[in-house]
A = this chain, B = another copy of it.
Amino acid sequence: MISWGTRVAGALALALGMVGSSDAASPKASVQAWRKAHEKEILTDFTTLLSMPNVATTLSDVDKNAAYLCDLLEKRGFKTQLLRAEPGTPASVFAELQSPGATRTVVFYAHYDGQPISQKGWISTPFTPSMRTALPEAKPVEWASAAAIDPNWRLFARSAGDDKGSIQAVISAFDALKASGIKPTVNIKLLYEGEEEQGSPHFARLVAKNLETVRGDLLIMGDGPMHQSGKQEINFGNRGIAGFKATVFGPLKPLHDGHYGSWAPSPTVMIASLVMSLRDENGHILVPGIYDDVAPVSPADRSALAALPGVETDLKTAMGLGRNIGPPRLADGYMSPTLNVRAIHGGDDGPSAANAIATEANASLDFRLVPGETPKHVHELTEAFLIKQGWFIVRDTPDLTTRLGHPKIVRINWDAGESIATESPIDSPAAKAVAASISRTAGYPVLKLPFMGGSSGMAEIVNQMKVPMVGVAIANYDDNQHAQNENLRIGNLWDGIEVYAGLLADLTW
């Protein structure tokens, strides 16, 4: 559909000695040959996995996924167990395989739960995986009977990109190595979370309870999208998150807006005013003090950011945007907090539209946090600022006395599952080894992103494990993760299998 910048020729990069030590042997050729011979088997496995409903809030569905994954891994010789923080919470699938002679243990993290599916506009059923031709056509295609699989086809299903694709890539990488007689050079631990899309409310406790079991020398984080250029990219952390829902209150009953609009406060206006008091249209956050905690960006991070290829012009074209907000370069914005307005709602719309003043209105917002910031301090700063503007903050629907006693009332409910940013050094020996391995596989120097813009619950995990973390994502950037029509480009799965096979078989430090 669109062309993503200029690709640096792999041969040139290799000639310049940019892509890591030459003494490690990449399994790429063998893995690629095996994959080409087994594409339909891989896709059969993947569509089976994607057919299992996994919305994070439905525990019984999540548990079925966990049991299925254990079975897959046991068949491959892994020792598995289901770890839970406490009964009744989602399990993490833990699997372990010792490699004779290996001195390092690598923990591969991913999550097998998924976002809700009730968004409007799905062109296929979220848990009935649908192979489709390249965008923008996205026509259904019978892959099982096709003569060849086009790598630009995309498999549409909830969790295709976020994050079952990463799990499939690791499993297929393992199968490819085994079939080729290539032995992993590291001990393997797999840790697949089941509540990431709920904000990981129990995951840190789960890890704390099982710290010695799950710990290794390096944590590979297999969540998130790849760079928009389509190039292999690694990251060393992600932003934190603190989200909330704000609800404002108008009359107890809807009022005719002709008779009362000049006199009764309007919740639709109040919520718009509240939103605009917190950030401007250009993305600048207006909460006093919100930027004071932000840690300075290191020179190493600055260099890595500067080395990222430009994607902004292509991105604007792909997304139909006549402008951007914030810094011109996308990834530069990840180094500052962002306040997103996920939703704003008030009054009846569409067929119920009426000339009425609504009884309440609400907005859903999230702060993405950078190192130095904490959800607790963001709560304090935000609420202090709202109070200063005259808002009376409540946690439940106010009763009549409260309503009459306060001119402006807002119910603030902070989300469960908040987190600080996850930080790991960009230049640790383990991180350098990962960069070298992926550069060998890719044939060009892997891109390095200091922080992903998104969030995860990994900060507490990294802080407990006290090991370097490197994020290795394989999903296409335009995978619609968290939204309708989530998909994974098939070429990304193929590349991901090679990348993960490299990490299993040629990682040394």
Please give the residue numbers on chain A whose beta carbons come within 8 Å of chain B beta carbons, in ascending order. Answer: 115-116, 118-120, 224-225, 238-239, 241, 243, 249-266, 268-273, 275-276, 279-281, 283, 312, 316-327, 330, 333-334, 336, 338-349, 351-358, 361-364, 366, 368, 400, 403-409, 452-455, 477-478, 480-485
Contacts of A272 in B (CB 8 A): 271-273, 275-276, 341, 344
Contacts of A323 in B (CB 8 A): 265, 407-408
- In the bound complex, do residue A321 and residue B404 qualify as a contact, i.e. CB atoms below 8 Å apart? yes
Contacts of A480 in B (CB 8 A): 253-254
Max chain B C-beta neighbours (<10 A), residue from A116, A355, A403, A406 = A355
9 contacts between A and B (CB under 8 A): A120-B348, A262-B283, A262-B330, A262-B333, A263-B325, A272-B272, A317-B404, A322-B405, A340-B357
Contacts of A271 in B (CB 8 A): 272, 344
Contacts of A265 in B (CB 8 A): 281, 321, 323-325
Within 8 Å by CB of A338, from B224, B250, B262, lies: B262
Task: Give min CB distance, A419 to chain B, whole Å.
Answer: 11
- In the bound complex, do residue A269 and residue B406 qualify as a contact, i.e. CB atoms below 8 Å apart? no
Task: Give min CB distance, A174 to chain B, whole Å.
Answer: 29
A452 to B261, CA, bound (A): 12
- In the bound complex, do residue A266 and residue B341 qualify as a contact, i.e. CB atoms below 8 Å apart? yes
Report the copy number of this chain in the oligomer. Answer: 2
Max chain B C-beta neighbours (<10 A), residue from A254, A263, A325, A368 = A263
Task: Give min CB distance, A216 to chain B, whole Å.
Answer: 26
- In the bound complex, do residue B354 and residue A259 qualify as a contact, i.e. CB atoms below 8 Å apart? no
The 3 closest A-B pairs by CB, nearest first: A262-B333, A343-B347, A258-B454
Within 8 Å by CB of A353, from B225, B239, B342, lies: B342
A15 to B478, CA, bound (A): 81
A265 to B324, CA, bound (A): 6
- In the bound complex, do residue B346 and residue A344 qualify as a contact, i.e. CB atoms below 8 Å apart? yes
- In the bound complex, do residue B341 and residue A344 qualify as a contact, i.e. CB atoms below 8 Å apart? no
Contacts of A403 in B (CB 8 A): 320-322
Extra A-B contacts (20), CB below 8 Å, given A239-B258, A273-B281, A276-B276: A116-B352, A119-B254, A254-B484, A255-B483, A256-B483, A258-B338, A259-B477, A260-B330, A263-B283, A263-B326, A266-B340, A321-B404, A322-B405, A341-B347, A343-B348, A344-B361, A345-B346, A349-B362, A355-B366, A356-B482
A273 to B325, CA, bound (A): 14
- In the bound complex, do residue A455 and residue B258 qualify as a contact, i.e. CB atoms below 8 Å apart? yes
- In the bound complex, do residue A319 and residue B116 qualify as a contact, i.e. CB atoms below 8 Å apart? no
Q: Knowing A119-B352, A356-B483, A363-B268, say if A258 contacts B452 (CB, 8 Å).
A: yes
A319 to B264, CA, bound (A): 9
- In the bound complex, do residue B342 and residue A345 qualify as a contact, i.e. CB atoms below 8 Å apart? no
Task: Give min CB distance, A354 to chain B, whole Å.
Answer: 4
Task: Give min CB distance, A267 to chain B, whole Å.
Answer: 9
Task: Give min CB distance, A408 to chain B, whole Å.
Answer: 8
Contacts of A263 in B (CB 8 A): 283, 312, 324-327, 330, 333
Task: Give min CB distance, A501 to chain B, whole Å.
Answer: 27
Contacts of A355 in B (CB 8 A): 241, 243, 340, 342, 366, 454, 482
Contacts of A264 in B (CB 8 A): 319, 321, 324-325
Max chain B C-beta neighbours (<10 A), residue from A312, A363, A400 = A363
- In the bound complex, do residue B253 and residue A352 qualify as a contact, i.e. CB atoms below 8 Å apart? no
Contacts of A333 in B (CB 8 A): 261-263
